Amino acid sequence: MAIQWFPGHMTSARKKAAETMERIDVVIEVLDARVPAAGSNPMIRELREYRQRPCLKVLNKTDLADPEATKAWLDYFNSQKGVKAVALSCKKPGEAAKIPKLCLPLAPHRGTPLKPLRMMIMGIPNVGKSTLMNALLKRRAAAVGDEPAITKSQQIFDLNDHMTLIDTPGLMWPKIEHDSDGYMLAASHSIGRNAVIDEEVAAFLGDLLLARYPALLNKRYGCNTQHMDGHHLIEAIAQRRGFRLRGNEYDLEKAALTLLQDFRDGTLGRISLETPVTREEMLQAARANSASQTPAEIE
């Protein structure tokens, strides 16, 4: 099942972001450190490159991500022109406070009372943009919650007399090109539940974790993960936790939600769903598959 999610308000949010891009100096793109490439909105890149705006990529939720993968992503992003990357947790005010200072070198002609540095916070839903805004302002100025698309409109704040912040709604793009990206975004809770089937997302997540983090699954659920796939893992969780329906059948939906929530909360451990290497492997496979298709199959 291909996952797509583009609520109606995002069309107007994109238009507003394009208008605002002309008047800002630096884009602060907040990413979930566990899925930094899958969760990087191509529309944001297109908008900022069209206006030639530099970007500070903030790999948030780094406390939940695999440290080795995060280091690899920092090296990857910092090698790109006009991009600076930093890994932190927006829930830690001391770490979030570093961000404005990191933006200054990206726009050295700004940052004075006469020419304030104008920064726009962007990203897909539920990656921590509002948490970052609140940490920087040291007050609750933006609504925060564990559901995608809480912020619906732009908000502008003066950080001090030489810096201005613009908070924007979480912005998806109309068509997610790669199925695995949709599943990773759903697993990390950046896509609304109305667009996904939890058991399918959990099975995808289970397959990935079985391949890369089997020891963490074994430690958490106490089951032998050898020769398992994602569906078998969900069934094993239901069995180990005693999740049953009337008729004594396993409650696979509850088990799937347990796996998803354990990943999202970091209960399983520090996990990243992609690295620069696995990303390139996925893209190469997608290109090879596309090249092998006939025109009729592509249509």
Q: Please, what CATH class does the domain formed by 9-167 belong to? A: alpha beta
Give residue-wise pLDDT tens across range 111-131. Answer: 999 999 999 999 999 999 988
The model's confidence at residue 294, banded by pLDDT at 50, 70 and 90, is low
DSSP category for residue 82? T
pLDDT band at 148 (very low <50, low <70, confident <90, very high): very low
Q: Phi/psi at 110 (nearest 5 deg)?
A: -120, 175
Question: pLDDT tens digits, residue range 243-292?
Answer: 999 888 999 999 999 999 999 999 999 999 999 999 999 999 988 887 87
pTM: 0.90
Q: What is the per-residue pLDDT for 212?
A: 97
Confidence band, pLDDT 50/70/90 cuts, at residue 93 = confident
pLDDT at 75 over 90: yes
* Distance of alpha carbon 187 from alpha carbon 259, whole angstroms: 10
pLDDT surpassing 60 at residue 57: yes
Q: What is the mean pLDDT of residues 9-35?
A: 91
CATH class of 179-298: mainly alpha
- pLDDT (mean) for 225-235: 95
Q: Within 13 Å of residue 171, how many CA atoms lie on the same side as its CB? A: 26
Q: For residues 239-246, give the mean pLDDT.
A: 93
Write down the pLDDT at residue 145: 46
**Residue 196 pLDDT:** 87
Burial of 168 (0-12, 13-18, 19+ CB in 10 A): buried
Find where tokens 């997302």 sit. Answer: 201
Ranges in the chain annotated CATH 1.10.1580.10: 179-298
Question: How many CA atoms lie within 13 Å of 184's alpha carbon, on the beta-carbon side?
Answer: 26
pLDDT at residue 5 is higher than 50: yes
Mean pLDDT score, 105-111? 95
Is the pLDDT at 132 greater than 50? The verdict is: yes
Range(s) for CATH 3.40.50.300 in the chain? 9-167
Look at the chain and count its residues: 299
Phi and psi for 240 in degrees, rounded to 5? Answer: -65, -35
Percent of the chain with pLDDT over 70: 92
Residues near 111 by beta carbon (within 8 Å), at least 6 away in sequence: 104, 117, 162, 163
